[in-house]
Amino acid sequence: MKNILILFLLAIGPVVFAQQDWDALLDKYNKSSVPYITAQEAAAAWSTDEKVIFLDAREIEEFETSHLPQAVFVGYDDFDSDELPRQTLEQADKIIVYCTVGVRSEDIGEILLKKGYQNVYNLKGGILSWKNADFIVYDRNGQPTGKVHVYGPDWGRWLTRGIPVHD
């Protein structure tokens, strides 16, 4: 029994510590003004009958390297909420905004909430947490890829699965 407990703790340890690290990182940069959704919760919602829309709040080079399934590129520096398909977003059960780790996506999520959109969530840990959970990301051609754009070299340390890419 003791060996089973030790194996269990070894198996979940990295997940628990990774969760604590995301919390500390996001507490440093965010105000928690947009509710978080974990990669596991987002994947579960996306795989059901819920109408989930992923909005990618990174720059085009990042999006083309890697993005979540059926994600809509909205950008960050040139984000314009008036260009979004309002009816599609209003009909969504969940609007999940993501970036590399969840910092830029909070800013975009705040804008969407102020515009009156409901059910807006910030993907906690961004695309890195998605890939770390072993979910698939896609390249510019819609093909699965192991590469993940990590914004910059400092952020690459947060990627535990996949090949970090940055400019």
- Catalytic amino acids? 99
Sign of CA dihedral 9, 14, 15, 17: positive
Cβ pair 124, 102 in contact under 8 A: yes
Q: What is the SS3 assignment for 98?
A: strand
Q: How many CA atoms lie within 13 A of 108 on its CB side?
A: 29
Task: Report d(CA 20, CA 18) in Å as an integer.
Answer: 5
Residue 164 has phi, psi (to 5 degrees) of -70, 135
Task: Report d(CA 72, CA 23) in Å as an integer.
Answer: 26
Q: What is the SS3 assignment for 89?
A: helix
CA-based Rg of the chain, rounded to a whole angstrom?
Answer: 16
